Structure 1
Amino acid sequence: MELGRWGDHLRKSWVVATVLLAGASTALAQDAEAEWRTTSSLIQTEPPAEEFTRYSYVNPDAPKGGTLNSAAFGTFDSFNPFIVRGTPAAGLGQFGGLLWDTLMQQSPDEAGTSHALIAEAFTYPDDYSSAIYRLNPDARWHDGEPVTAEDVVWSFEKLKEISPAYSRYYANVTAAVAISEREVEFTFDQTGNRELPHIMGDLAVLPKHWWEGENARGQKRNIANPTLEAPLGSGPYRIASFDPGSRIVWERVEDYWGAEEPVNIGRNNFDRMTYTYFQDDNAEFLAFTRGGFEDIRQETSTRRWAVEYNFPAFERGDVIKREFISGGIQHMQAFAFNMRQPRFQDRRVRQALTLAYNFEEQNRLQFFEMNERFSSYFERSELASSGVPEGQELEMLEAHRDALPQELFTEEFKLPVFDTPQAQRDNLREAVRLFDEAGWAIQGGRMVNKESGEQFRIEFLGSSPTSEIITGGYIANLRRLGIDATLRIVDTSQYIQRYQAFEFDAVTARFPQSESPGNEQRDYWSTQAADAEGSRNVPGIKDPVVDALIDKIIYAADRDELVAATRALDRVLLWNYYTVPQYFQPTMRYAYWNKFGIPEKQPEYSGIDPQSWWILQDREAEIEEQIEEAE
């Protein structure tokens, strides 16, 4: 489990000053004044009463020092997280990670909000046709060189060229132009997309002079290739050392340019952050119980949480269990069947596969009844569909009535429930009926195609023994239907490669969402993304109705329209049975070694921000001594 990115870090708020804008674009020049924003929100419609000076939950006087030990799963072979090839090291990410700052920083405390970082402010016209970002004059690379508008333009152009994620995320951004030494204008191929000016703040800014330079061997660098040369960054940490594939150590940058920026006050408190890689989840847990390899662990296994925290360090109080509550969306986890393969393209087949998943039994026998079932792709938010469609949502769906399941308009969507033995029989019987309608029949105990005689097969792809827990009961029920269902566990690198290339029958997929969905929905569900390697459209959805509803979300004129469009999309995804929803933990369960100072409150939206924690160095020394004695 990697702790390199805590929380989903979304966005919210608004902002401050109004100044004259000289040298603006044609669209902006029509206004005598332009509003420069230091905070951007896609949810709030009114500016806050006070200017943002720091996150409210942090300790601004938190001391610096100590080491945060973390575990990562699998391996790594690259420090370039922007390309499909290679597996990037822990601490890196497509939107900067620990190494590169972005124009704005997504807030862990408020949904749909970003605050100034490399960009000290931004502005845009009323029709959302462009945006200008003004850089902070203090922004510096770790070699002391200033971050320039030229760096921003180069980063935008290169990332759109080499990164499928950036290419889709910024598909409607046509150009980035340096209009002065500190200002960059982004132009869009459309108007009315209120999200575009905002999401430009997510751009990771990279050092053009480093990537276009030469390495120690005199070879020219190429950002389109994997690399194990530690890149030059601008963020709070730099790579100190590493063992390829097994360990990476990050060190805090003492003269980090942004240390006193509001988003960083009281955060980035660890002098060193180490990630040790494990190939097995059980080995990782044993290393955690021993100490020195993983200091903070999000416990996703309900069985471990319930019965396995009885090791010596826990019993003597050196390890603490604590549940955090997130106010954000629960991120959908589901079985995704590869609709690029013909046998999964029939909706009746996918509905039958949904009827075979017995969540209630799995929750009772394996999860101590501590998990809850997903019923929406936007679980626990106002974006989740419920009941039957009405109002604006109904109007949007009516436009596609002939292309939608008719029960969508008259029935509340409900997943099958296995609460009695009779319910199990009824659900499996209905699954057999649906298979029969779709051209499959049970012959000699095997579910076969009526025309070809080929047995229906599903191979679930996994990367750890945990996959056996997730799929075990489901596979047993599928076999009762005569389906040849199996699980194949492969090493992490192969799993990632096959997952990104869609070389599987079925996988467990996650679809993290924000409370302000927008352009990223194309990467999740659009026809365009279905065959784009590395996209998040894991099931391979190609549905004109889904494409149209994504556009409704992106071009929503206000929050009410956005909510209605998202509920409509949610409803269409559910009723088409594009995935089989699994389960979630209602609280965030963490265990950690008792060496931290922790703010009294944690962020309401993400639920936890360990970057706001700090090391109690006396406790750290005591724990290290106890670990040495135990060895």
Structure 2
Amino acid sequence: MAIAFAGAAFAEPQHGIAMYGDPALPPDFVSLPYANPDAPTGGRIVFGETGGFDSLNPHILKGRAPWGVRAHVFESLMGRNYDEPFTLYGLLAESVETGPDRDWVEFSLRPEAKFSDGSPVTVEDVIWTFETLGTQGHPRFHSSWQKVDSIAATGPRSVRITFNQPDRELALIMGLRPIFQKAQWEGLDFAESSMIAPIATGPYVVAEAEPGRKLVLKRNPDYWGKDLPFNAGRHNLDEIRYDFFADGGVMFEAFKAGVINSYREGDAARWEDGYDWPAVTSGAIVKSEIPHQRPTGISGLVFNTRSEVFADWRVREALLHAFNYEFIAQTQTGGRDPRIPSYFGNSVLAMQDGPAEGRVRELLEPFATDLLPGALDGYALPVGDGSARNRKNIRAAAALLEEAGWEPVDGVLMKDGEPFTFEIVMRQGEADFQAIVNIYVQALERLGITPVVTTIDSAQFRERTNAYDFDMAFYTRGLSLSPGNEQMLYWGSRGVTEPGSRNWMGMNSPAAEAMIETMLNATSREDFIAATRALDRVLTTGRYVIPLWYSDRSRIAHAAELRFPEELPIYGDWIGWQPDVWWWQE
């Protein structure tokens, strides 16, 4: 990468940048629309987390770092407005400018931007950060860095990044890179897991960090950006604390006991029937439902197609039929929440019912011979009768398995002299998932399939999934209204062999990659939506995940003193909302 002084730019600096069109907020905006600029400061919020951590660097592959460090200690050149699909406004950078084709982007640093130790943020810090993350950071940074031709200082407070291939999202991605202090890492191995508290620019600093027990973040009273309009009504709480627990059941009891004061409830049945203890009935604990318009994402049991047993799509389709969703959902949640229909369900980006039409079909047809059944003609998940036996779907599963070459021999499903068996890897402390798997195992045994369920701790689970050393595991991937380069990390073919990607299923789909490329280079919102809907079809009909349920709202129980603005962002309870715009009021 070149580091030099580039020539002068001939573009107009802007206060923000949008993926399509212009930013919604004017240069003189007072605050983000979902923040309360008059919110008081003080108080604290206490979250519960399962598992633990052994690192304070969330931007490398090694180690397990708590989410709170990434979200509240680090900052980027620009920040997101979560009331727009994908628009950034100046944070560490006071302005941004791009070439007409977005083949380069230039950021100008604010002169007042400082690290938590009071030292100024320099262009040198920015350049070092970009190079280091791109070469030694987590693999999620690598693919976009490979699209960078050069990074160059254009002045004492400005830096330009030039790209080597078309990708309209790159300008925004570069604006979201966390910025490190170069001096802190001199003589240290950046890629090694470490409990060194980072010196960063965010509103909070690490006050306490005990692996496996707690993380305490304190609001920095000298935070450089506290008077920015972008930050008005944000970062109001004096303390953000995360307590860690062995499993979800213990964590919920800690909430009931008052150890935690904010709890996201994932069980719709318990939300309705299980909140009857005195703190709730007295009003000390408030139940808030936060609607959203973001995609469902995907959550469920993922097939690792690197395993020979799951390489055949008919086997995956058979096991989708064998998963008695209606019965399981009724047993676990009372069937209160709907099933995830597709990866981008519940949003404008979702695949439409029936055959592919118009621009979506036009995008997919060149790959028709490689697409699985349903991608062009229409597809829906198997539906059971709700009974425990699920007879119709079990018969359909047996027929698909026979078609794929599996035959029952004395009650055992066999192929080429080998029984059908595979390993389901579970993380300790996930009792709800364990109950789901128990029901599923019983159904599979009726087909002559004998799964082996292995329960391991969080560290082992991370190591094995990073190395794709599993047959089936629980998998969750959140998706936004602005999918982009991260989709290659999720579904790209490099993840078939490159460790640490989000492509746990091992999919290798030229059609999916082509749809992602079309999304990245779309010049209109219409083309972008068509490409995403086409990608949704490829993913869903790939039969890579047995999906569970989703909710179109978050359910948060919290101390009555914890408040939030009435106006909600389109993303709802998402990154940048809790605890970012919450406050404490006695």
Residue aligning to 2:171: 197
For the pair 1:453 / 2:418, whether they are aligned, the reply is yes
Deviation at 1:406, TM superposition (A): 5.0
Aligned residues: 577
Residue aligning to 1:235: 202
Amino acid corresponding to residue 422 of structure 2 in structure 1: R
Between stretches 398-407 and 520-529, larger displacement belongs to 398-407
Deviation at 1:426, TM superposition (A): 2.0
Deviation at 1:409, TM superposition (A): 2.5
Residue aligning to 1:481: 447
Task: Give identity over the alignment, percent.
Answer: 33
Summarize the Cα distance change of 1:423–1:403 in structure 2 as closer, same or farther, 3 Å threshold: farther
Q: 1:151 aligns with which of 117, 120, 125?
A: 125
Q: 2:333 aligns with which of 358, 367, 373?
A: 367
Deviation at 1:363, TM superposition (A): 1.9
Summarize the Cα distance change of 1:400–1:242 in structure 2 as closer, same or farther, 3 Å threshold: closer
Residue aligning to 2:308: 342
Amino acid corresponding to residue 457 of structure 1 in structure 2: F
Report the secondary structure of 1:35's partner residue.
coil
Residue aligning to 1:167: 142
CA contact (8 A) 1:141 1:147 kept: yes
Report the secondary structure of 2:208's partner residue.
strand
Report the secondary structure of 1:403's partner residue.
coil
Report the secondary structure of 1:320's partner residue.
strand
The 5-angstrom pairing of residues 231-630 of structure 1 reads: 231-291=198-258, 293-386=259-352, 387-405=354-372, 407-410=374-377, 412-419=378-385, 424-449=390-415, 451-464=416-429, 465-607=431-573, 609-610=577-578, 611-616=580-585, 619=586
Deviation at 1:174, TM superposition (A): 2.9
Residue aligning to 2:63: 86
Residue aligning to 1:226: 193
Between stretches 475-484 and 135-144, larger displacement belongs to 475-484
Summarize the Cα distance change of 1:597–1:322 in structure 2 as closer, same or farther, 3 Å threshold: closer
Per-residue deviation, residues 297-355 of structure 1 (Å, max 9, x unmatched): 10012232132212221122211112110122222212111111111111111111111
Aligned partners of 1:362 and 1:51: how far apart in 2?
52
Residue aligning to 1:188: 163
Aligned partners of 1:405 and 1:207: how far apart in 2?
48
Amino acid corresponding to residue 124 of structure 1 in structure 2: T
Aligned partners of 2:285 and 2:516: how far apart in 1?
45
Deviation at 1:601, TM superposition (A): 2.5
Deviation at 1:234, TM superposition (A): 0.9
Residue aligning to 1:110: 84
Deviation at 1:420, TM superposition (A): 5.4
The 5-angstrom pairing of residues 57-76 of structure 1 reads: 57-76=34-53
Residue aligning to 1:178: 153
Amino acid corresponding to residue 198 of structure 1 in structure 2: L
CA contact (8 A) 1:134 1:182 kept: yes
Aligned partners of 1:25 and 1:127: how far apart in 2?
18
Residue aligning to 1:38: 15
Aligned partners of 1:154 and 1:340: how far apart in 2?
37
Deviation at 1:423, TM superposition (A): 9.5
CA contact (8 A) 1:90 1:275 kept: no
Aligned partners of 1:492 and 1:46: how far apart in 2?
41
CA contact (8 A) 2:412 2:419 kept: no
What TM-score comes out, normalization by structure 2 length?
Answer: 0.94
Aligned partners of 1:203 and 1:229: how far apart in 2?
20
What TM-score comes out, normalization by structure 1 length?
Answer: 0.88
CA contact (8 A) 1:461 1:505 kept: no
CA contact (8 A) 1:43 1:111 kept: no
Cα RMSD of the aligned pairs, angstroms, is 2.0
Per-residue deviation, residues 412-467 of structure 1 (Å, max 9, x unmatched): 21111113559932211111111112121111111221x12333334242332222
Aligned partners of 1:49 and 1:132: how far apart in 2?
20
Summarize the Cα distance change of 1:408–1:76 in structure 2 as closer, same or farther, 3 Å threshold: closer
Per-residue deviation, residues 136-195 of structure 1 (Å, max 9, x unmatched): 11100111111011111000000011121111243312332112111111111113x211
Per-residue deviation, residues 584-614 of structure 1 (Å, max 9, x unmatched): 1232111011122332223232346232121
Summarize the Cα distance change of 1:211–1:460 in structure 2 as closer, same or farther, 3 Å threshold: closer
Summarize the Cα distance change of 1:447–1:326 in structure 2 as closer, same or farther, 3 Å threshold: same
Deviation at 1:530, TM superposition (A): 2.1
Per-residue deviation, residues 196-236 of structure 1 (Å, max 9, x unmatched): 11111111110001111xxxxxxx32212111121211110
Deviation at 1:47, TM superposition (A): 5.8
Report the secondary structure of 1:508's partner residue.
strand
Unpaired segments of 5 or more residues in structure 2?
Answer: none
